[in-house]
A = this chain, B = another copy of it.
Amino acid sequence: MRVPCRDCPLRSLSAFTKLPVKKIDFIQSIKSNHLHHDAGSWIIHAGQAAELFTLFSGWAFRFKTLPDGRRQILNFILPGDLLGLQASMFSDSLYDVVALTAVELCVFPRSKIWLLFERMPELAFDMTWLGAREESQVDDNLTTVGARNAVERVAALIIGLYRRANLLGMVSDQTLLFPLSQQHIADALGLSLVHTNKTINRLRRMGVFDLSHGLLKLHDFHVLEHLAQAFDVEISPRPLI
C-alpha cells in the first residue's frame, strides 16, 4: 500500500492507457490490500470464492485439473493483467491460479465490483474490456492446442509470451527472464513432458531461440512466427485497473 496507485510504475508503460487522476483515486479507494506470494503458492482455489486482483509484479498461471489429475494450463498472467474476473463474478472459481514466481497483487474485494459499475462506468467498461482480452488469449491457446502440431505449438507459445513481455519492458537484448519449466509448457500445450523437451531442443538446434537456465533469447522472431503459423496481431494499449 505504500506506493499510491497514482505512482504505480505500471502506468508509465506504453502498454497502458492513461487514466485521469479521479479514476486512479477511485481505484485506490476500492483497493483493499497489497499481497505478496511466494512462487508456487495458490492465489485462487478452484471451488472457492475469490477476490479480484491485478497482478502487480511477477508471473502466474491459471489452470484446470481433471478428476484423474491431468492438468491444463489455460493462460499465463503477467503484470498489469486482471486476475479472477470470472472467479469473482461466479460464486466459486472454476479454476486454480498459482504463482509462477514471487508475485505482488493488488486486491479489489468482489463486494466492491458492483460499486464500480454503479459509480465508475468507465472503469467497469475497462474491466469488461480486460475480460474480453483474456478470453481472446484463451481463444488463441485453444487454437494452438487444437490445430497446431508440436513445433508450431511451442513456437506459438514462445511468440505470445515474448510479445507480451516485450510490451511490458521485460525484454532487453532480445532476452527475457522466463520462469516456465518444461512441465508448464507441456501442460499449456497439451503435450507430454518428453515430447515437449525434444521439440524445444529441435527448435533450439534450428537456431530460432535459446531457452535455458530460466532465460529465453529469441534469435529470429520472423522465422518463429512463420513456424508457428501465427496470425497477424494488432497490439493496442490496454486499461489498467
Interface residues of A (CB under 8 A from B): 64, 66-68, 70-72, 74, 85-86, 89-92, 94-95, 114, 117-118, 121-122, 124-125, 127-129, 131-132, 134-136, 138-143, 145-148, 188-190, 229-231, 234, 236
Q: Which residues of B contact A118 (CB under 8 A)?
A: 121
- Report yes or no: B139 in contact with A128, Cβ–Cβ below 8 A: no
Complex copy number for this chain: 2
Q: Is the interface of A mostly helix, strand, loop or mixed?
A: helix
Q: Which residues of B contact A147 (CB under 8 A)?
A: 64, 66, 70-72, 190
Q: Which residues of B contact A134 (CB under 8 A)?
A: 135
- Report yes or no: B148 in contact with A145, Cβ–Cβ below 8 A: no
Return the chain B residue nearest A226 by Cβ. B67
Other-chain contact of A66, B125, B131, B189, B229 (Cβ < 8 Å): B229
A125 to B118, CA, bound (A): 9
